[in-house]
Chain A
């Protein structure tokens, strides 16, 4: 007979915890290494960025960021020496490479395009999605199941399969290379996801809330606004994040349908390669900045996502 210590059958053993912890840490490291590499590259000089073996320890530089935000022309050393003193840090950095700043690059306007299109389409998709989901959830919609399936089916095809027809349509309608066109397109793609996700959340909110509000003297719209919406915030936040991630990262449609004034950041960043050599630090700098908004948005809505739905005073 050996002595065994009593242990819980539901709580994981310490060995299991150790193994689970190791796997999670390993996965987190593997996921974060590419991001850290991009972040590190954005602060390298171009020679450091393509050094072999790769440099882990290096002298940080913001040359990548300078190159990202400017266009430069190559000049003779004599011409550069004839200029007055450098006007700023970036000026000084590029002169060392026999170049002068010719003007701002297109990165900032492209980045602003991305913000407008991604947030605009996310707002539209969540707005339309919430109203449709509420409709499907609360009213007897004829052929509701078929309609919901139809809405979902718009996501079955890969974007590239519909890219050519949409390109032709947009050219006819004058929507190619416009922010409005891109917002409409991303809204159309995201609204199916929004309807399905939000319908699930709204189904969980008891009808009694609206009914109580309507008896208490509110119109249905007011009841929706004051009782359903506050309780659907968790679902709306989660849906908004998914929509935003899609619209923010979308490349195929953006590359095909935008080229000039409405171009978003994803198709713009690769074009940095080729403007005066393979400027990896500038690409990495663009990518790093590109990651910031989505990171901030997710962190801001983190609490909403984690809070879970509280049914409060309703006993189920």
Chain B
């Protein structure tokens, strides 16, 4: 096992830049997820780490060794493909043993290693079956088996659960994380599914248009999105935005949105007057008739313990997550109270988050 260090990594296909100056470090034994919409460059980054694509610029270090221009087979990594890529002309046993065969391992040793791996994944009863007859989840386990049998430096996974049914997917998310907890293999996992990312990752990098928008733990990314893109991409429903104008002064604790004063975490930098946005997670909204921030109920979505309520305000629809017990009827006027400690502020032009007291806690937490 080894850490993966990516420095100024860049990939261009002709005029199209797929990955722009990426920098990140995946620590030894960490489960790292690259998350982003399709075409954001996450798969290209993964393929460059694997050696299936050569970068246009930058460096990739595996366990301290520069492997940027090395061939895939010289990197000692394992890759799990979205389509599994199980060889249909081989049975399960031969599929799992295939990487060991390349190393010239004696057949008896291959046999015992394959059986040990199969037991770990609970597919030992399938070893002599043909791969074409297997169910989706079992195919996934065989593909994982082929990856872990070699005990490589790290695992790279390209949306490995993308083709599974929802039922299998939840099961495999759980199994993958459990497997990771047992073998502690450095893992880079690519997905566009935020639920997978949030539930499995130690660290997440959110990518968009070839740029890493934010790198951090799932909690950091959810609580303190670094950009409006991240705020919008993570969370279901995503973060609400309400626009407001004017600059911000260092130490400000209050802003004015739609004529109502709203308490916000203390601002830590001076911002020149510009279009701004206030970011509010749906669960940080409460109904309070005393609030000056008002709207009309547009519709509700019942989820059992909570409900998502769409409220039409002067600045479009915002969604609130409130207890399911509150009864609301469409058209009803409500006041909205916001949790002042948990709000984000963004510069609309650049999409960047303004530094506030919320970020101090983050810095403290990291150093403490």
Contact = CB atoms under 8 A, between A and B. Distances in A.
Nearest to A209: B85
Contacts of B120: none
Given A211-B72, A313-B134, A315-B136, A217 B85 contact: no
Nearest to B51: A215
Contact of B86 (A215, A230, A310, A312): A312
A211 B47 CA distance: 10
A190 to B, nearest CB: 27
B331 interface: no
Given A216-B99, A312-B130, 20 more contacts: A206-B85, A208-B85, A211-B85, A212-B79, A212-B85, A215-B50, A215-B79, A216-B78, A217-B103, A219-B73, A222-B102, A226-B87, A312-B87, A312-B131, A313-B85, A313-B87, A313-B132, A313-B139, A314-B85, A315-B84
B144 to A, nearest CB: 13
Contacts of B98: 213, 216
18 contacts: A206-B85, A211-B50, A212-B81, A212-B85, A213-B102, A214-B73, A215-B77, A216-B78, A216-B102, A216-B150, A218-B73, A311-B88, A312-B86, A313-B84, A313-B139, A314-B84, A315-B83, A316-B83
A226 B79 CA distance: 18
Interface in A196-229: 206, 208-209, 211-219, 222, 226-227
Interface of A: 206, 208-209, 211-219, 222, 226-227, 230-231, 310-316
Contacts of A226: 87
B183 interface: no
Nearest to A216: B99
Contacts of A209: 85, 87
B88 A217 contact: no
Nearest to A309: B88
Contacts of A214: 52, 71-73
A249 B39 CA distance: 52
B52 A215 contact: yes
A208 B83 contact: yes
For the complex of A and B, 8 pairs with smallest distance between CB atoms? A312-B88, A313-B86, A217-B102, A216-B99, A208-B85, A313-B131, A212-B85, A230-B89
B72 A215 contact: yes
B220 to A, nearest CB: 32
A217 B132 contact: no
A212 B83 CA distance: 11
A218 to B, nearest CB: 5
B146 interface: yes
Interface string B67-95: 00001110101110101111111000000
Interface in B36-54: 50-52
Nearest to A214: B72
B199 interface: no
Nearest to B92: A313
B361 interface: no
Interface in B119-137: 130-132, 134, 136
Contacts of A206: 83, 85
B8 interface: no
Nearest to A222: B102
Contact of A314 (B73, B86, B102, B146): B86
A230 B89 CA distance: 7
Contact of B73 (A216, A231, A315, A316): A216
